[in-house]
């Protein structure tokens, strides 16, 4: 398919409705970034998503868009609950992959001499890497509780404080989870991976706040220049991956029976009101809750490691959760469409929710500031904290970008990194990195990604979120 883009303004590009497209495509991007997008097939994927039954308004893409399975990564699409569909490819394999940012009372000047010691301790205490197993070994009965209760299960079992739930999207648990719909294989894969970081682009970073753009909002977020923060990026591990795989296979077999005419078999889907659609949503909620429990436990392990390694008290550390957001999910949400409030199923694949001040589902502590929006870079690049805006509700179903977005495949990144010592290059920049896999640092080197600052500038100028603060990495652990 030949995709023609129509420039609407400096930050928005239209794919006009054509052929079987039910709605147009809308891309948030700059002139410079959109050139990179045109190098892969992600714009074709935006157009393909626009053909799906029940889609509303637009098939959307954030400025970190790149090619993915079925839907592009950075894709957002909302569907009517009656005639619409749910697609595992619109959520992704790592269900509720997301980010958690913790603030501390520590300052960079105090901690910089101990960064290597801290990173080494975190690397020792937090399981990471492909197939990594945690110290928790769940029974099937306990795993079912995790799948229903999410982060609350972790807190009940000593991993954190009750107030953490108010600072977690959906209070750390998605309604409708039903472990009875899960396969034996999915259940088995979830038994020993809780409290593990994973591999690939998952990471834990010690960062310093090196710029504040909105001092009033930063203060409400407990952020200040020179402050040490910790960023965690992880998801539902093999548990969520298996759930996605199971339902993609089942939906793929049902496509012809449902009467779908799909431009790509990777868009396998089911009607939201069908038994298969409802079962997927129930299974997806299980994985989402597992991911929230996982990040809650990772935060607890991080806090304990800081206290032990630095020989300080919890009060001296002052580690608190700023927020936890997910970016691979499908959610039932109320949105105003052409003056009418409708219940929609919003798919966000590599996209983060961005809710404005006074939104009714925001927790009390963020009712006046808007939702904290967390945008990670990768190892050698900045991360950002933004705040949700009304512009996101008006334009993108309350959605924003989720990171920088890849420009190189993992294979190409490894070829480009041949003969280079990525860990030494990063250490020369003042970033100490430890990784389980030898290939990981090459696959995830900074050049494999778009410039996250350019991506964030697009969403800021487009009004999808506003910049609050910038974070610079000092130390990183990866799988």
- Tens digit of pLDDT for each residue in 358-412? 999 999 999 999 999 999 987 779 999 999 999 999 999 999 999 988 777 788 8
Residue 460 a catalytic site member: no
Rounded Cα distance, 262 and 80, in Å:
18
1 in any annotated domain: no
Arithmetic mean of pLDDT, 66-72: 96
Return mean pLDDT, the chain: 94
85 in any annotated domain: yes
pLDDT digits (tens, 9 = 90+) for 259-293: 888 999 999 999 999 999 999 999 999 999 999 99
pLDDT digits (tens, 9 = 90+) for 328-355: 999 999 999 999 999 999 999 999 999 9
Q: In this structure, are residues 236 and 97 in contact, taking their beta carbons and an 8 Å threshold?
A: yes
363 in any annotated domain: yes
Arithmetic mean of pLDDT, 62-71: 96
Minimal CA–CA distance to 182: which of 87, 138, 247, 253?
Answer: 247
Rounded Cα distance, 90 and 330, in Å:
8
Rounded Cα distance, 426 and 422, in Å:
6
Q: Is the pLDDT of residue 113 over 70?
A: yes
294 in any annotated domain: yes
84 in any annotated domain: yes
Query: Among the options 241, 300, 402, 460, which is catalytic?
Result: 402
How many independent structural domains does the chain possess? 1
353 in any annotated domain: yes
DSSP, collapsed to helix, strand or coil, labels residue 411 as helix
CA 103, chain centre distance (Å): 19
Q: Is the pLDDT of residue 177 over 90?
A: yes
Strands (E), 67-113: 73-80, 85-86, 98-107
CA distances to 94, 150, 294, 435 from 387, rounded to whole Å, are: 25, 25, 25, 31
Q: In this structure, are residues 288 and 236 in contact, taking their beta carbons and an 8 Å threshold?
A: yes
Which CATH number is 358's domain given? 3.90.1860.10
83 in any annotated domain: yes
Q: Is the pLDDT of residue 37 over 90?
A: no
Residue 307: predicted pLDDT? 98
418 in any annotated domain: yes
Minimal CA–CA distance to 324: which of 152, 153, 172, 149?
Answer: 172
More confident: 436 or 247: 247
Residue 134: predicted pLDDT? 81
Rounded Cα distance, 197 and 298, in Å:
7
**Buried-state track 313-335, b at ≥16 Cβ within 10 A, e below 16:** eeeebbbbbbbbbbbbbbbebeb
336: containing domain: 6-478
Residue 409: predicted pLDDT? 79
Q: Is the pLDDT of residue 166 over 80?
A: yes
Residue 107: predicted pLDDT? 98
Residue with tokens 């469409």: 337
pLDDT digits (tens, 9 = 90+) for 427-470: 888 899 999 877 888 888 878 788 899 999 999 999 999 999 99
Rounded Cα distance, 421 and 133, in Å:
28
Dihedral angle at the C-alpha atoms of 302, 305, 309, 315, nearest 10 degrees? 70
For 455, other C-beta atoms within 10 Å of its C-beta total 28
Which run of H or of E encompasses 220?
A: helix 215-220
Residue 256: predicted pLDDT? 79
Confidence band (pLDDT; 50, 70, 90) for 2?
Answer: confident
Task: For 95-153, give the DSSP string.
Answer: TT-EEEEEEEEEEHHHHGGGHHHHHHHHHHHS--STT---S----HHHHHHHHHHTHHH
Q: Is the pLDDT of residue 160 over 90?
A: yes
Arithmetic mean of pLDDT, 190-212: 95
Residue 436: predicted pLDDT? 83
pTM attached to this predicted model: 0.96
Q: Is the pLDDT of residue 218 over 90?
A: yes
- CB-based contacts of 318: which residues, under 8 Å, 6+ apart? 103, 104, 105, 106
Q: Name the DSSP letter for residue 363.
A: -
Residue 1: predicted pLDDT? 65
Rounded Cα distance, 282 and 366, in Å:
29
Strand partners, 208: 228, 472
Percent of the chain at pLDDT > 70 equals: 100
Residue 153: predicted pLDDT? 98
Q: In this structure, are residues 346 and 330 in contact, taking their beta carbons and an 8 Å threshold?
A: yes
Q: In this structure, are residues 15 and 27 in contact, taking their beta carbons and an 8 Å threshold?
A: yes
């Amino acid at each position: 398919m030949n995709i023609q883009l129509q420039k609407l303004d400096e930050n928005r590009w239209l794919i006009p409705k054509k052929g079987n497209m039910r709605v147009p495509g809308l891309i948030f991007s700059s002139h410079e970034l959109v050139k990179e997008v045109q190098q892969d097939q992600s714009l074709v994927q935006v157009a393909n998503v626009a053909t799906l039954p029940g889609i509303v308004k637009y098939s959307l893409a954030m400025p970190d868009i790149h090619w993915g399975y079925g839907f592009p990564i950075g894709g957002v699409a909302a569907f009517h609950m009656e005639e619409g569909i749910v697609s595992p490819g619109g959520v992704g394999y790592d269900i509720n992959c997301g980010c958690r940012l913790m603030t501390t009372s520590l300052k960079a000047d105090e901690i910089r001499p101990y960064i290597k010691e801290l990173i080494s301790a975190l690397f020792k205490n937090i399981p990471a890497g492909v197939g990594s197993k945690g110290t928790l070994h769940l029974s099937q009965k306990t795993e079912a509780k995790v799948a229903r209760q999410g982060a609350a299960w972790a807190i009940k079992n000593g991993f954190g404080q009750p107030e953490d739930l108010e600072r977690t999207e959906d209070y750390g648990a998605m309604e409708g989870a039903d472990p009875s719909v899960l396969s034996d294989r999915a259940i088995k894969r979830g038994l020993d991976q809780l409290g593990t970081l994973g591999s690939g682009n998952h990471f834990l970073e010690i960062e310093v706040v090196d710029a504040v753009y909105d001092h009033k909002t930063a203060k409400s977020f407990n952020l200040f220049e020179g402050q040490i923060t910790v960023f965690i990026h992880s998801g539902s591990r093999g548990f969520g991956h298996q759930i996605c795989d199971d339902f993609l296979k089942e939906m793929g077999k049902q496509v012809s029976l449902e009467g779908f005419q799909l431009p790509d078999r990777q868009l396998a889907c089911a009607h939201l009101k069908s038994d298969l659609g409802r079962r997927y949503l129930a299974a997806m909620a299980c994985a989402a809750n597992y991911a929230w429990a996982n990040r809650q436990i990772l935060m607890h392990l991080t806090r304990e490691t800081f206290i032990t390694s630095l020989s300080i008290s919890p009060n001296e550390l002052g580690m608190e959760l700023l927020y936890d957001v997910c970016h691979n999910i499908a959610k039932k949400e109320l949105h105003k469409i052409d003056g009418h409030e409708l219940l929609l199923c919003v798919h966000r694949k590599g996209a983060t929710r961005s809710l404005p001040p006074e939104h009714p589902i925001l927790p009390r502590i963020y009712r006046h500031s808007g939702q904290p929006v967390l945008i990670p870079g990768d190892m050698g690049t900045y991360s950002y904290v933004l705040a949700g805006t009304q512009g996101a509700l008006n334009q993108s179903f309350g959605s924003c970008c989720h990171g920088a977005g890849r420009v190189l495949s993992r294979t190409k990144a490894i070829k480009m990194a041949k003969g280079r010592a990525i860990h030494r290059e990063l250490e020369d920049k003042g970033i100490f990195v430890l990784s389980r896999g030898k290939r990981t640092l090459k696959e995830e080197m900074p050049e494999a990604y778009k410039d996250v600052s350019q991506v964030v500038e697009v969403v800021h100028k487009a009004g999808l979120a506003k910049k609050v603060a910038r974070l610079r990495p000092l130390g990183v652990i990866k799988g």
